[in-house]
Amino acid sequence: MTEPRPAKLALEDGTVVAGYAVGAPGETTGELCFNTSMSGYQEILTDPSYAGQVMLMTYPHIGNYGAFEAATEADRPHVAGLVVRQLSVDPSNHDMEETLDAYLARHGLVGISGVDTRRLVRHIRQRGVMNCVISSQDLDDASLVAKAKAVPSMAGLELASGVGVAEAYDFSEAGERRVAVYDYGVKRHILQSLSALGAAVRVFPAGMPFADVLAWEPDGVFFSNGPGDPRAMPGAIGTAREAIQSGLPLFGICLGHQLLALAEGLEVYKMKVGHRGANHPVLNLTTGRVEISTQNHGFAVREDGLAGVAEVEHRNLNDDTVEGLRYLRFPGFSVQYHPEACPGPHDSRYLFDQFFEMMDAAPAERHRQPAREGVSQPVDA
């Protein structure tokens, strides 16, 4: 056992708490958010949608089962930092390859433990999410608060271009249907879910012109999850508009849901406190069933202006926000939550089946139509 290293966390409103450093030594900044999942910490750490965010885990014991590659959603952590009540130093799991602390240190991820996470969650719930800094180097309260205040707001921040692929690649090549995936930070389990249903899946960079995607002759287009403010992504919104005009079946998750909504003229707003956890109840308005869902978002689609554009198909039962839309002017739908789960329940995996049913029902000739003339080509947001 090594001697605990002191560390501090400071919020932009002047709140400062002391604890012990975990992971790599140093300093990190980002928007402090919290996740209510009891497990799945490694999937959360590696979800590209969390780029720019410092993640506070509400469950008091984190790291109980160590870390291992099979639990990752990307090749590295994407969160900006980690806050926990207690980090397990003696995990137990036959799949474990290293401790969580060693995993964090190996990837240079800065964290803090030994803090009152319940107090911090209550503070955020009352005041709203805010920027923070974690440091094991600078322990001066005034200096840390000043650094937290200097962190750019997530509102208006484009982050997706920094987490996606630079070149197109084939995730799976064999399948009866071709699914083109726009990568804004796509999770591995989304790609695996599409491939498992028998699709050839090609992943395209966020700034890929839609004409180049059409040249691959896809049967459907998927818009992925990702970090940041979708309103700061004009190129991606333009791509979504072109995809809508192509007549191809479309499916969007999380950020992809917001981009499709923006492309259809709907509004997106930043939430006071986002949804992050594996136990959010969502009502399917078509079936009347309640689904327990995995969620990770700080922005949401405003319900105003839906008439003639889309119908709300899923609604959050905690705060009545829009969780899913069925579009009326093109074959497509989108959801704010994560049907692939990981971590979380599998109540909503049927949505991938619905996407394939939509592709099966689409006229074959529609799949091969070029983009309409006069539509501007998208650029990187």
Catalytic residues: 254, 338, 340
Q: What is the dihedral of CA 273, 277, 279, 285, to 10 degrees?
A: 60
Q: Which two tokens stand for residue 122?
A: 């209550």
Total count of residues recorded for the chain: 381
Distance CA 118, CA 280 (A): 19
Question: Pairing mode, if any, of strands 220-223 and 250-253?
Answer: parallel
Q: Are 15 and 123 in contact (CB under 8 A)?
A: yes
Q: Are 170 and 202 in contact (CB under 8 A)?
A: yes
Closest CA to 351 of 240, 254, 242: 254
Q: In what order do the strands lie in the sheet with 199-205?
A: 169-172, 199-205, 177-183, 220-223, 250-253, 332-335, 322-327, 310-316, 268-284, 290-301
What's the N-to-C CA distance of the chain in angstroms?
47
Q: Which two tokens stand for residue 181?
A: 């995936």
